Structure 1
Amino acid sequence: MPAQPLQRLYRGLHHLATPQRYLFTPADMRALIPGLSDGAYRSMLSRASSDSILIRVCRGLYLFTPAKPNPGLVLYHTAARLRADNLNYISLECALSDIGVISQVPQNWLTIISSGRSQTISCAAFGTVEFVHTTRTALELNGQLDYDDRCRLWRANASLALADMKRTRRNLELIDWKTANELV
């Protein structure tokens, strides 16, 4: 007797998933159970996300928990996966907090400068990703970004993050200007 679709999905995800690859789109998972109608597939995904094995992180992205991802990196990896076709980099309050220019650490909030449209996306219990649009190109940012392997995203240096704060008219009151001037 053939396995039920949900069992086939889980079995396929167990083979594909690793601690580094644990986020899947519905299209990724669709290939694991090709014979299902669209309605049955959507219904199965709904059932799958109601248990603790497959968690809906946000619209169009699911986390496979048996892969045991690092919880501190899920929001970063989600941002990278959601906008894989755009230029994205960690900037604004997040970048400045990481280098000690802002004393308050944004909890469960990730700010990303993106060549895609501006959007704020709630990612369930993991937090929120805020994408802020830029028209700048990778060539214009050359030398101001470093790639962060753990986060799978580019990261702005201090001078770029400060310039982004001013360009996007963010609140500058939390910035420790003494520390900022030492880094720039």
Structure 2
Amino acid sequence: MTKKDRLVAALSESTKAGGGINTAAELAYMIGERLTPAFTKFLTVCAKKGLIRRVAKGVFESTLTPPDPTTAIYKIAKKLRANVISYISLESQLSHTGDISQIPMGRLTIVTKGRSGTFSTPYGVIEFTHSKKTIRNIAPNLYFDESVGMYRAQSSQAIKDLKNCKRNTHMLES
């Protein structure tokens, strides 16, 4: 079996298991390869041929077995900040809870203990905003949303985050 065939099989299996979004390191592991510059070049060639699609730096999806588009942006966000606490907050969460009437179209706002950054993906823009708050202060105000597989801020925490980040509070309903 060629490396390309192993990649197709691995992508198919990952989608069946609820995945569909994988980092370059995960893809290398899944097909028994090491993450080397040669493997990264192999992924670039596969992307040019349309076998996979680069959705963010170092993050790929299969074009043959793409992930569910309603949850793909959340999966990408989790891959981009896999080793740090991150949760949906700010405008995305306040819109979700109805605390603001505006719906952020094509944008997911996330508070993270990791670095701030903005990533354009085929599913929308992911905006990470760094928080200096301790996990002890944040954790009681979060809940896990099984439908997207991520933590979300309770309304009170999302409003605090909005104020701490000095973002526009004029859109709050109350």
| TM norm structure 2 | 0.89
State which drifts further: 49-58 or 147-156: 49-58
The aligned counterpart of 1:182 is none
* 1:141 matches 2:154: no
Give the aligned partner of residue 164 of structure 1.
161
1:103 aligns with 2:73: no
Verify the 8 A CA contact 2:142 2:151 in the aligned structure 1: yes
CA distance in 1, matches of 2:11, 2:67: 14
How far apart are the structure 2 equivalents of 1:80 and 1:130? 12
Structure 1 distance, partners of 2:23, 2:54, is 10
Matched residue, 1:151:
148
Residue in 1 aligned with 2:10? 12
Task: After TM superposition, list the pairs within 5 Å mapping 1:27-176 onto structure 2.
Answer: 27-31=25-29, 32=31, 34=33, 38-39=37-38, 41-123=39-121, 125-176=122-173
* Percent identical: 31
Aligned residues: 173
CA 35–23 in structure 1, closer or farther in 2 if over 3 Å, else same = closer
Q: For the residues of structure 2 that align with 1:87 and 1:37, how far apart are their CA atoms?
A: 28
Gaps of 5+ in 2: none
Per the normalisation by structure 1, the TM-score is 0.85
Q: Helix, strand or coil: the match of 1:71?
A: coil
Provide the rounded CA distance (Å) in 2 between the counterparts of 1:93 and 1:36: 37
CA distance 1:37–1:119, change in 2 (3 Å): closer
- Per the TM alignment, residue 167 of structure 1 is displaced from its structure 2 partner at its CA by 0.7
When residues 174 and 84 of structure 1 are mapped into structure 2, their CA distance, relative to the original with a 3 A threshold, is same
Give the letter aligned to residue 37 of structure 2.
Answer: D
User: Which piece of structure 1 moves more, 102-111 or 6-15?
Assistant: 6-15
Note if contact 2:100-2:173 (Cα within 8 Å) is conserved in structure 1: yes
- Is this contact kept in 2: 1:19–1:68, CA < 8 A? no
